[in-house]
Amino acid sequence: MIDFGLLAEQFSMLFTPARLLLLVGFSFLGLLCGAMPGISSTMTISLLISLTYGMSPFNGLLILIAAYTASTFGGSISATLLNVPGTPAAAATVLEAYPMAQRGEAGRAIGIATVQSFTGGILGTLILLFSAPLVAELALRFGPWEYFWFSIFGIFICANLSGESTIKGLIAGIFGILFSLVGVDPLHGVLRYTFGIPQLEGGISYIPALIGLYGVAEALSEFIKTTEGVVIHPKSGVLPPLREYVRGLWLSLKVTFLGFLIGALPGTGANIAAWVGYDHAKRVSKHPERFGKGNPEGIVGAETANNACCAGVYLPLLTLAIPGDATTAIVLGMMLVHGLRPGPSMWIEQPHWIYAVVAMHFIANIAFALQGYTLARPLAKILQLPRRAIMTVVIILCTIGSYAINSNMFDVYLTLAFGVLGLLMRRFGFEVAPLVLGMVLGDLMDIQFRRAILTSNYSFAPFFTRPICIILIVILVYMTMKEVPFFRAKISRVFKRKR
């Protein structure tokens, strides 16, 4: 049951001059970072986390949500003006937005992206508001068996969808889990994989690792590049005509649901949502042949889906304490640092936080949409700043971010090590996202597995007989079989025969 009184209270808490200023400021920062190629949404959030330690949890959450939604949209600006997606979530947008910019319609392309991102964000937040209580109620019935399979499910989906090779994704995921197991075993107090290094006894904190994997690695790869892009300046107006918006409304409604659903699946994220949205727009279009040549429908599909996904990723985080993507993994870290415990019990103990997240999403969407309209042209100028010079500052912010957690230089060294690891992973075609998810969920997976064994008197049977476990296992088996060439051929033959 939704408590609208509590929701209204959270909205009223946001309408103070200081918080509105924070919202506008960090929304702009998110927009700027998202528009700057090389600074992804996850990197933006990992850089901002150092600021949240000195704030109240409410303000900390507000700046992260404002920056995340704005940076996801911001990626479309450089996709349009530079032919380079500012964030991976804008990769599909490039295909249509840049050809439009070349035709002199850069303003129109940014306008469509703004309106559709806003639509996707607002509708996604509404779905979050109505679906979260239902999922939380269901999650209250989950035992350690379900949590174990959910962790595996999240890592597997992430490995399967986020890169060129599922094998490499799974390897990255396993390394993530192994990293999370370093330190004192919470069940028996035995030291695992510390190799005599006392600083590792407390485990590898995943926030310095995330800052390294996204921030330092991205800055290093920017240092390695030799070229910088050319910026196209928007000449036409940014506000699209109303009839264009109405024409794309049905498509954006459908794509919102898709984007939200993808976000709600643990281990996915906005970039996958954008591609699925784009693909759907192409499939239902009357003119699929115009895709890739500057068709606004493609922008509608990609941008609506990726911003709806921004709300969707909060569903597993708030109801199961399982982050939907790497960015919400950082948000989870921030919430834990501030003593907040997301999960099904949050609905009973601290329900106002759920409504706070919803209210923040609403306001953050309005903030970035207004800024998207007014700041598209000045942003084109900012995009001309030398990126490699900016990356030196990014390295410093990464250092502060990792140092600030425990005022400990060892965390900074860890960040550097994970930065180099991230660079190597990119070089050898490994995705970083499964590693991150493995690091976040690995501990949970290990503990829940052993707790489940103890609860069921050393029996493995409940892992395979409980209804939700069976559903998850069936999906996992299907996805695994799809990756084996022999079974893949069989599956496609069965589907062909049915058609």
Q: Is 470 in the site for another protein (CB under 8 A)?
A: no
Listed ranges 57-65, 123-131, 182-190, 315-323: which one lies at the site for another protein (CB under 8 A) = 182-190
* Cα 350 from Cα 209, distance rounded (Å): 29
Q: Is 446 in the site for another protein (CB under 8 A)?
A: yes
Residues 6+ apart with CB under 8 A from 422: 212, 213, 214, 216, 217, 218, 220, 432
* Cα 458 from Cα 447, distance rounded (Å): 14
Residue 407 Cβ, how far from another protein at the closest point, in Å? 6
Member of 347, 362, 449, 463 binding another protein (CB under 8 A)? 449
Q: Is 224 in the site for another protein (CB under 8 A)?
A: yes
Which residue number, 20 or 174, has a Cβ lying nearer to another protein? Answer: 174
Closest CA to 285 of 240, 241, 242, 248: 248
Which residue number, 72 or 402, has a Cβ lying nearer to another protein? Answer: 402
Member of 1, 190, 246, 348 binding another protein (CB under 8 A)? 190
Q: Is 428 in the site for another protein (CB under 8 A)?
A: yes
Q: Is 479 in the site for another protein (CB under 8 A)?
A: no
Q: Taking the mean position of all CA atoms in its chain, how far away is CA 107?
A: 27
Q: Is 400 in the site for another protein (CB under 8 A)?
A: yes
Member of 18, 198, 243, 407 binding another protein (CB under 8 A)? 407
Which residue number, 10 or 448, has a Cβ lying nearer to another protein? Answer: 448
CA atoms within 13 A on the CB side of 184: 8
Contact track, another protein, 351-370, x by CB under 8 A: --------------------
- Amino acid letter, residue 6: L
CB 238 within 8 A of CB 284: no
Q: Is 391 in the site for another protein (CB under 8 A)?
A: yes
Stretch (H or E) spanning 192? strand 191-192
Q: Is 162 in the site for another protein (CB under 8 A)?
A: no
Residue 201 Cβ, how far from another protein at the closest point, in Å? 14
b/e 138-172 (16+ beta carbons within 10 angstroms → b):
ebeebbbbbbbbbbbbbbbbbbbbbbeebebbbbb
Q: Is 420 in the site for another protein (CB under 8 A)?
A: yes
Q: Is 489 in the site for another protein (CB under 8 A)?
A: no
- Amino acid letter, residue 433: A
* Cα 156 from Cα 166, distance rounded (Å): 9
Which residue number, 226 or 467, has a Cβ lying nearer to another protein? Answer: 226
Q: Is 464 in the site for another protein (CB under 8 A)?
A: no
* Cα 455 from Cα 267, distance rounded (Å): 27
Q: How many residues does the chain have?
A: 499
Member of 115, 356, 360, 416 binding another protein (CB under 8 A)? 416
Q: Is 403 in the site for another protein (CB under 8 A)?
A: yes
Member of 419, 421, 444, 466 binding another protein (CB under 8 A)? 419
Q: Is 395 in the site for another protein (CB under 8 A)?
A: yes
Which residue number, 118 or 206, has a Cβ lying nearer to another protein? Answer: 206
Q: Is 413 in the site for another protein (CB under 8 A)?
A: yes
Q: Is 167 in the site for another protein (CB under 8 A)?
A: yes
Residues 6+ apart with CB under 8 A from 344: 136, 137, 139, 140, 142, 319, 320
Site for another protein in 40-79 (CB under 8 A): 50-51, 53-54
DSSP of 355-419: HHHHHHHHHHHHHHHHHHHHHHHHHHHHTTS-HHHHHHHHHHHHHHHHHHHHT-HHHHHHHHHHH
Member of 290, 352, 377, 450 binding another protein (CB under 8 A)? 450
Which residue number, 112 or 404, has a Cβ lying nearer to another protein? Answer: 404
* Cα 51 from Cα 217, distance rounded (Å): 21
Q: Is 21 in the site for another protein (CB under 8 A)?
A: no
User: Rounded to the nearest 10 degrees, what angle do helices 296-312 and 249-264 cross at?
Assistant: 40
Q: Is 406 in the site for another protein (CB under 8 A)?
A: no
Point out which residues bind another protein (CB under 8 A).
50-51, 53-54, 165, 167-168, 170-171, 174-175, 177-178, 181, 185, 187-188, 190, 192-193, 216, 219-220, 223-224, 226, 386, 388-389, 391-393, 395-396, 399-400, 403-404, 407, 409, 412-413, 416, 419-420, 423, 427-429, 445-446, 449-450, 453-454, 458
